[in-house]
Amino acid sequence: MITLLRYSLLAGFFLGLPGFAAEAVMPPATPVVTPAPVTPALPTIAVTLNGRIEQVTIDNINNPLVVISTTAGDMLLELFPAEAPQTVANFLTLADGTKAFTDPATGQQVMRPFYDGLIFHRVIAGFMIQGGSPTGLGDGTPGYEFADEISAVSLGLDKMLVLDEQGMPNPILGVRSQQDFQVRVLQPLYQKLGITSKESLEARVAEVDQRLRTLNVKEIYEMLGYRYLDTLHSRTPVQGVIAMANSGPNSNGSQFFITLADTAWLTGKHTVFGKIRGGLAVLDIIGKTPVNTESRPLQDVTIKTIRPLLR
């Protein structure tokens, strides 16, 4: 495996040696007061969840609202069809039984409410809950895959450099070790540049060094196979959003996760297509359910139904 410990960017990060020098941040000579932008009020509606009335705020009164009814209680979900139209359509038609999928038990094409009776097969406290696997094991699919719906530009990935001025990887990359950096940044960059050996790296080390200084997060993700639709608008995966789980670029099917905290390191890798608006206490209960060493709940938390809110 080729490493770049020989030159300053990586040495500064992994060995504590000097990297780039940061410029001093100087305060302005005269404070500048900028008026806060006026944010229009969002719609608020009253819904009945878990036997009581909740006042919930939503983004758009025309967005689909669905109730995820579980054995732990009910949650209200607002979907964002303008931001992820194919993903929302896939979720809704699987949920109501109007989209065909492959039954993993028989291998036959069937049409029935897909999510009814499935479990949250993976729960990680402080991170997320995951469901939508027809096998209940995390490996199930509906028998097809479809593309991501993510806008890198609206997320600002094209403005985020992979390395800061000290040679530290951008936190959004989730790099925690030299091996992470090797896999997530260096290997795809070497492949893009056609560097296939230690000798070719040594001959082009100055070029690689310069490319690392200008490389942005959008570019490195595209080297990993992600493709973006910048005609859309995307959201970061903050606490309470629902997003597609996948096994890599453009491998969406039926599995989804709901975040229990802000998860910036997933930005640009998963299609966010909705947000929990009501029943947050239920989400908290599921997120704290006891699990085994594989993050599977010791007692099943089952999805009873996913249906449109009756209004």
d(CA 74, CA 173): 34
H or E stretch including 255? none
Kindly give the confidence (pLDDT) of every residue in the chain, 311 residues in length, as a single tens digit, with 9 standing for 90 and above.
333 433 333 433 333 333 323 333 334 444 555 566 666 788 999 999 999 999 999 999 999 999 999 999 999 999 999 999 999 999 999 999 999 999 999 999 999 999 999 999 999 999 999 999 999 988 889 999 999 999 999 999 999 999 998 889 999 999 999 999 999 999 999 999 999 999 999 999 999 999 999 999 999 999 999 999 989 999 999 999 999 999 999 999 999 999 999 999 999 999 999 999 999 999 999 999 999 999 999 999 999 999 999 76
Q: What is the 3-state secondary structure (H, E, C) of 95-145?
A: HHCCCCEECCCCCCEECCCCCCCCEEEEEECCCEEEECCCCCCCCCCCCCC
Query: What tokens appear for 119 in the block?
Result: 């479990």
Predicted confidence (pLDDT) per residue in 198-236, tens digit:
999 999 999 999 999 999 999 999 999 999 998 999 999
9 φ/ψ sector (left φ>0, alpha ψ -120 to 50, else beta): alpha
Three-state SS for 24? Answer: coil
pLDDT, residue 42, reads 86
Three-state SS for 28? Answer: coil
Enter the pTM of the model: 0.85
Beta strands in 58-106 (DSSP E): 65-70, 73-79, 101-102
Query: What tokens appear for 234 in the block?
Result: 């995307």
pLDDT, residue 19, reads 30
Give, in order, the Cα–Cα distances in Å from 230 to each of 118, 153, 302: 34, 6, 36
- pLDDT > 90: what percent of the chain? 82
Three-state SS for 65? Answer: strand
Annotated domain spans of the chain: 47-152+228-308
Predicted confidence (pLDDT) per residue in 141-169, tens digit:
999 999 999 999 999 999 999 999 888 99
Fold exhibited by the domain 47-152+228-308: Cyclophilin (2.40.100)
- The Cβ of residue 45 has, within 10 Å, a number of other Cβ atoms equal to 16
The answer to whether 309 and 65 have CB atoms below 8 angstroms apart is: yes
